[in-house]
Amino acid sequence: MENQKKIAALVEKRETARLGGGEKAIEKHHAKGSYTARERITKLLDPGSFEEIDMFVTHRCTDFGMEKKVFLGDGVAVGSGTIDGRLVFVFAQDATVIGGSLSETMAQKICHVMDLGMKLGAPIIGLNDSGGARIQEGACALAGYAEIFERNILASGVVPQISVIFGPCAGGAVYSPALTDFIMMTETNSYMFITGPKVVKSVTNEDVTVEDLGGARVHATKSGVTHFTAANEDEAIEQVRRLISFIPQNNMEEVPAIEPTDAIDRVDDALNDLVPADPNKPYNMKDIIYTIIDNADFMEVQPEFAKNIICGFARFNGKSTGIIANQPNWLAGVLDCNASRKAARFIRFCDAFNIPILTLVDVPGFLCGTGQEYAGIIDHGAKLMFAYGEATVPKVTITIRKSYGGAHIVMSCKQLRGDFNYAWPNAEIAVMGASGAIGVLEAKNIKAIEDPEERKKYIAEKEAEYKEKFASPYQAANRGYIDDVIEPRNTRFRIIRAFEVLKTKRLTNPGKKHSNIPL
């Protein structure tokens, strides 16, 4: 009988803990169109797989009447579960408990699952919905944040870390997501900023709304802080599950592979005519990507930020691959500060987690002007070069059309240890385009020709000569800088064959404490 009472008390305590801040607080939370912490976990993980730990932890603060505000679990649900059968660790901040504010014990719970994730080699997913540090705890709450940040740093490159922003994320709270590999924000209710609108108004006299200061749209298009956005919480959760399907559990695993259902030797004749003969005419690089990958299944990263470069995950013959591609449809595919750092960070993630990299090149150069120079285009361009040169995973590069100057170098050229570098027949690899080159090399001769028609004819002849002599892919192939010139329709097959050859690649960088990437 006594045992039954104890068991009944345990069941009751569990039910109380699962209610977080209580039924009224949950109703209020639902009224905002938001799920509770445990509802989010249930939707994220495979049915019945969640194993919650530290359910009975409570805070220890007795100041400011906090001894009367004690909740089991103390504002965060933590534990493990599976996504498509693969182990993950998760924490979900509970906004129904004191606004989800972070206490010392709440931080300890989060650190506990992060330590387990590191120890067991499984991804760590954080579902953020918090009012920030718990003011009543002062320095203890700040120390809790610092403990979390340190673990984010140590876990970086060891296990994948994903942050989902479902509500407020302000002040010091923003730094944990910023230290993780990917951030997902919902277009409703979520926002991130260092200081809120009221502080901004008092310091800078700017009038700005929460949404305009740190909403999902701002961080997706202007700052690049968030990697994905979703219309609602259900969509965000589905995107996280999809993202997990492309990435390995940890830095010691190979990439996930699924049973391929798309023929390896599938060809598409449309590719032979997809790129305009005129090098100044745009086209959509995504048309090529969707054609050559498995089942047109492409998960783009930061699709609304720095659109002149495309980054994302796809599969070739069932195996995950990272893709970086210039986008001629946006700013002619030129490299600028934002595009360089966007691609560099994506490359470093792929390299950290053994994900092969495919690079599709059509780049006229770096964006010029005082705006870019003052913004540090030199350093940002160097980031991209550094990332490619440091990467030891299999790297296949295909020059689709243009590859000029310094931009040619930073886009995974042979000298940055590109393993297989191919080019389409119409590719141009040179210091600069024919028009610009002839304008410099033949300036005196052109100026000496008085007749406009004769001048035009002379320029056309010299440009054609330059293309043939300096910009042709066969010239690069002649020097061994291009391994082969391939027929566009066979691109998919050549990529798969190259990665298959490279699957046993082993390359180690010189021993060092760590590199010093130009930040």
Q: Are 279 and 433 in contact (CB under 8 A)?
A: yes
Q: How would DSSP label each residue in 106-148? A: HHHHHHHHHHHHHHHT--EEEEE----B-GGGTHHHHHHHHHH
At 490, list the tokens.
Answer: 């066979």
Give yes or no: 65 in active site: no
Alpha helices (runs of H) in 311-375, residue ranges in sequence order: 337-352, 370-374
Percent helix, strand, coil in the chain, to 5, is 45, 20, 35
Place of tokens 């090098």: 279
Q: How far apart are alpha carbons 457 and 463 in whole angstroms?
A: 10
192 three-class SS: strand
Q: What is the dihedral of CA 306, 307, 310, 312, to 10 degrees?
A: 80
Give yes or no: 436 in active site: no
Nearest residue to 268 (alpha-carbon basis) of 491, 115, 92: 491
Q: How far apart are alpha carbons 424 and 297 in whole angstroms?
A: 23
Interior angle at CA 441, CA 436 and CA 444, nearest 5: 115
Interior angle at CA 110, CA 103 and CA 232, nearest 5: 95
251 φ, ψ (degrees, to nearest 5):
-75, 0
Catalytic residue among 389, 405, 406, 436: 406
* Range list of β-strands (E), 142-295: 161-165, 168-170, 182-186, 191-193, 228-230
Interior angle at CA 117, CA 114 and CA 118, nearest 5: 90
- The continuous run of DSSP H or E covering 312 comes out as strand 309-316
Catalytic residue among 157, 172, 224, 436: 172
Alpha helices (runs of H) in 192-336, residue ranges in sequence order: 197-204, 210-214, 216-218, 233-246, 285-292
Catalytic residue among 155, 306, 332, 407: 407
Give yes or no: 322 in active site: no
For the stretch 360-369, what's the b/e string if a residue is b when 16 or more beta carbons lie within 10 angstroms of its beta carbon?
bbbbbbbbee
Catalytic residue among 121, 171, 389, 405: 171
Place of tokens 């926002």: 191
Chain mean position to CA 354:
15
Q: How far apart are alpha carbons 220 and 82 in whole angstroms?
A: 28
Nearest residue to 324 (alpha-carbon basis) of 376, 283, 286: 286
Give yes or no: 389 in active site: no
User: Which residues are tagged catalytic?
Assistant: 171-172, 406-407
